[in-house]
Every structure is written in C-alpha cells, then in structure tokens.
C-alpha cells in the first residue's frame, strides 16, 4: 500500500456518496488522509425519496439532484464521471469505458440497481421507469404536451403497486385532477404487499379519494405507443393509454457480473457482516448490489434507508481496516417507513409512531431535509422551502 491510502468508490447514490462524505470526515493521522475517488455515470446525485415532488412541482430539480461538483466542493474527494468497464482485483485497479485507470487500496461497490425492461414486449420502447432524474423529466415533458393538448382525458397506466407505483399514482392524480384517468396495475392480490398495515390502509384511502383505479391480480401482456394489454383471469383486454409507467422489480447493475466477484443466485455480491466482499477483504459492497442478511438469515430490503445506514458502517470499516482497528458487523435498525400520498399528504409509521395527513407530510419533509447530503445543501433547500410561500404570495 502507498503511504497515502487510495479509496475508490463506484456509484454515487446513497451508499457511495454518503460513504465518501463520511470517510472525508473521519479522524486520520497527519499525512494519512486517503485520496478518495467517487465515480458515477451521471453528473448529479439524486435524492430519490423526493423525486416524486418533481411531478407536482413541489420541489425543483436543483433541490433533489444537486451536482456532485457542488456537493464535494471544499472536500478532498475527487469526482470522476464515467462508466466502469473492468475491476482488476489482482492489480487493485478500476478501468473506465474511456480507458481511464484508477488504482486503489480499498474499493467500495455501490452501483445500485436498474428497472428491468425485458420481461414484457414494449416496455423498453414505450414505458417510463421512475428511478432517475431523466425519468422524471421525461414524464414531465410528456405530461406538459398532454396538458396543453385538446385531449379531454389523460390516461395513465402504472404497472406495479409497490411504494413507487402508489406514490407516483397519487402525485399524478393531484397534478392532473379531473383530467387524469390513473390506473394502478398489480399482479398480486393487494397493493403495498410489504408495507405496514397502517401505511397500506392510508394509501388505499388516498387512492380511493383520488379516483385511482386499482387492478389487482392483473398482468401485462404488451405495451404499445398508445395502449397496454391487461390479462385478468385468462382474458386479455387492450386498454388505450397516453402514458405507461413501469415500476416493477429491481435488476442489479449488469457491470457487476463482469467483475469476477462472488454472487448469489440473484446476481448480488455476497458479503460478510462487515460488508466486505467474500474472499476479498479489501473490497466492500453495500446498497442494492449487495446480498446482506440480518441475524435471522433474512435478506435486508434494498431501500435508501438501508444504504444510508450501511454507508456509516462501510466508511468506519474502511477506516478501521487502514488503521489496524477492529471492524464492526453491520446491524440494520428499521426506523420505519414514510410515503408521500399526494399534495400535502403522507403517511409514516415506525418507532412507535403512526401518522398520516398533513402532519406526516411535514414530518417526512423535515426528515428528508436532515438527510440531504451536506449541511450547505440542507440550508439552501430549507431556506427555499421557507421563502416559497412568500414568493408565491408576491407573484
């Protein structure tokens, strides 16, 4: 290892960015602070739990997706925009698609997941996912065209009634109001199958109040430019739509399968309790791409909350491994779940608290404000929230 340790972090989502920021804050011996490189394909970090607010214009793009250059200003973290082509475990180096080679003493893999688009004909060509800033802008562009058209109704089908599907449905219904015809499609027999009962009931109430149609035990046969095929009890109906949202499933980044690392049957990287990759103690993995189990042997969910907690452990364990200290076993603490259910409406449950309505909406906003990646960005966003009502009043 060189005199100054080199840490390379692949992926700038919750896992990667927050690990980098935490590593930069830890106490290093004089002259031993590491050279930290953060690599991501996009120039902007995306605070995905607030992405829904872009649908209704409650928040702006700069609040939810600040550039890495802005977030890392004043730190010793180097940001490189690029896609990973190869990880050489023997030579401890990462090669990007443009040929750039970056050497490391410790590697952190936080590449995240993608929305699968190959399971049904037409998904890739005609449906919109809701995972990235580009997805949100693509949806907004289509909505603006439809809103300025002469169409009496704007028909939208949302496939998948998990958290993303339900939250998108409520936001779209509030934006489009009486012009919207929102259909939520779920292959199972209930919406939000993994949610606490309190949250599920609040979501069902919000969907009903907004007139969102819920099609349970329904599958999709195909998607075209202006229709979606629905299969219910063996019968297929072709439904005309203007927009199809596809919020079903998670697919590990394909790049991971090329790195020669140990994977589980689902293609996720196997890790120890310390979040070190099996048989590769100088490599750490977290977030959606890591196969992590709890004390009972159950897989931990792939959520922003989990990645947020893992980032602290990974940063500490990377620091510990470079300073000859004992590493910590990751333990997930479920702090509860929050969902937005439209304008000025949300639900949260956990830690003995259950709230819905405007109070939950405010609590959710404050929690996420606190979790934004840097104090400077928190202050900028918080100030904007405080001044928005005055700006609207004067405009």
114-131 pLDDT tens trace: 777 788 999 999 999 999
Question: For position 256, what pLDDT does the model report?
Answer: 86
**For residue 315, is it within any domain?**
yes
**Which CATH number goes with the domain that contains 92?**
3.50.50.60
- 269 within 8 A of 312, measured Cβ to Cβ: no
Query: Residues 343, 317: one domain?
Result: no
The mean per-residue pLDDT over the stretch 379-388 comes to 91
Q: Which of 209, 214, 206 is nearest to 357 (CA)?
A: 206
pTM of the model: 0.91
Question: For position 297, what pLDDT does the model report?
Answer: 66
**For residue 94, is it within any domain?**
yes
Query: Residues 312, 345: one domain?
Result: no
Distances (CA, A) of 74 to 45, 49, 158, 376: 17, 26, 42, 11
Query: Residues 295, 345: one domain?
Result: no
Q: Domain count for the chain, please give it.
A: 3
Query: Residues 256, 310: one domain?
Result: yes
Q: Which of 249, 215, 223 is nearest to 129 (CA)?
A: 249
**For residue 183, is it within any domain?**
yes
Structure token pair of residue 238 = 């072709």
Query: Residues 136, 200: one domain?
Result: yes
Taking only Cα atoms into account, the Rg of the chain, rounded to an integer number of angstroms, comes to: 22
Query: Which of 246, 280, 297 is the last residue before a domain boundary?
Result: 246
**For residue 69, is it within any domain?**
no
The mean per-residue pLDDT over the stretch 95-101 comes to 93
**For residue 143, is it within any domain?**
yes
In the predicted structure, residue 266 carries a pLDDT above the cut 60: yes
Spatial separation of the C-alpha atoms in residues 113 and 103, rounded to whole Å: 25
Query: Residues 106, 141: one domain?
Result: no
Question: For position 221, what pLDDT does the model report?
Answer: 95
b or e along 358-373 (b: 16 or more beta carbons within 10 Å of the residue's beta carbon)? eebbeebbeebbebbb
Query: Residues 168, 134: one domain?
Result: yes
The mean per-residue pLDDT over the stretch 353-374 comes to 95
Mean pLDDT of the chain: 92
Among 163-167, 193-197, 377-381, the least confident range: 193-197
In the predicted structure, residue 176 carries a pLDDT above the cut 90: yes
pLDDT interval class at 152 (50, 70, 90): very high
Range of the domain at 362: 337-394
188 C-beta neighbours (distance < 10 Å), count? 13
The percentage of the chain sitting over the pLDDT mark of 90, rounded to a whole number, equals 78
Query: Residues 17, 88: one domain?
Result: yes
**For residue 191, is it within any domain?**
yes
**For residue 332, is it within any domain?**
no
């Amino acid at each position: 290892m060189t005199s100054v340790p080199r840490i390379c972090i692949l992926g700038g989502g919750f896992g990667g960015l927050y690990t980098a920021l935490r590593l930069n804050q830890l106490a290093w011996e004089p002259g031993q602070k590491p050279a930290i490189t953060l690599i991501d394909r996009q120039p902007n970090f995306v605070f995905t739990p607030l992405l829904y607010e872009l649908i209704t214009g409650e928040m702006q793009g700069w609040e939810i997706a600040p550039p890495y250059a802005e977030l890392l200003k004043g730190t010793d973290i180097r940001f490189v925009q690029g896609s990973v082509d190869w990880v050489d475990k023997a030579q401890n180096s990462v090669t990007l698609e443009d040929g750039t080679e970056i050497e490391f003493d410790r590697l952190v893999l936080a590449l995240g997941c993608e929305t699968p688009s190959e399971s049904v004909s037409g998904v890739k060509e005609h449906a919109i996912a809701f995972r990235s800033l580009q997805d949100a802008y693509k949806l907004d562009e289509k909505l603006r065209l439809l809103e300025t058209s002469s169409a009496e109704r704007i028909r939208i089908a949302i496939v998948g009634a998990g958290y993303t599907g339900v939250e998108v449905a409520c936001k779209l219904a509030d934006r489009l109001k009486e012009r919207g015809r929102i259909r939520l499609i779920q292959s199972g027999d209930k919406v939000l199958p993994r949610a606490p009962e309190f949250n599920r009931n609040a979501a069902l109430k919000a969907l009903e109040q907004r007139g969102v149609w819920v099609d349970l035990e329904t599958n999709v046969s195909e998607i075209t430019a202006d229709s979606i095929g629905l299969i219910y009890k063996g019968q297929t109906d072709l439904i005309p739509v203007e927009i199809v949202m596809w919020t079903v499933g998670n697919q590990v980044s394909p790049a991971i399968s090329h790195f020669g690392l140990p994977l589980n049957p689902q293609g996720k990287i196997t890790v120890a309790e310390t979040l070190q990759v099996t048989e590769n103690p100088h490599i750490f993995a977290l977030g959606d791409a890591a196969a992590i189990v709890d004390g009972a042997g159950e897989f931990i969910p792939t959520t922003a909350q989990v990645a947020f907690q893992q980032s602290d452990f990974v940063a500490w364990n990377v620091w510990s491994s470079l300073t000859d200290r004992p590493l910590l076993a990751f333990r997930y603490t479920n702090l509860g779940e929050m969902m937005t259910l439209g304008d000025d409406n949300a639900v949260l449950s956990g830690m003995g608290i259950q709230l819905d309505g405007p109070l939950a909406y405010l609590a959710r906003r404050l929690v996420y404000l606190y979790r934004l990646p840097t104090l400077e960005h928190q202050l900028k966003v918080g100030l904007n929230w405080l001044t928005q009502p005055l700006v609207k009043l004067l405009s």
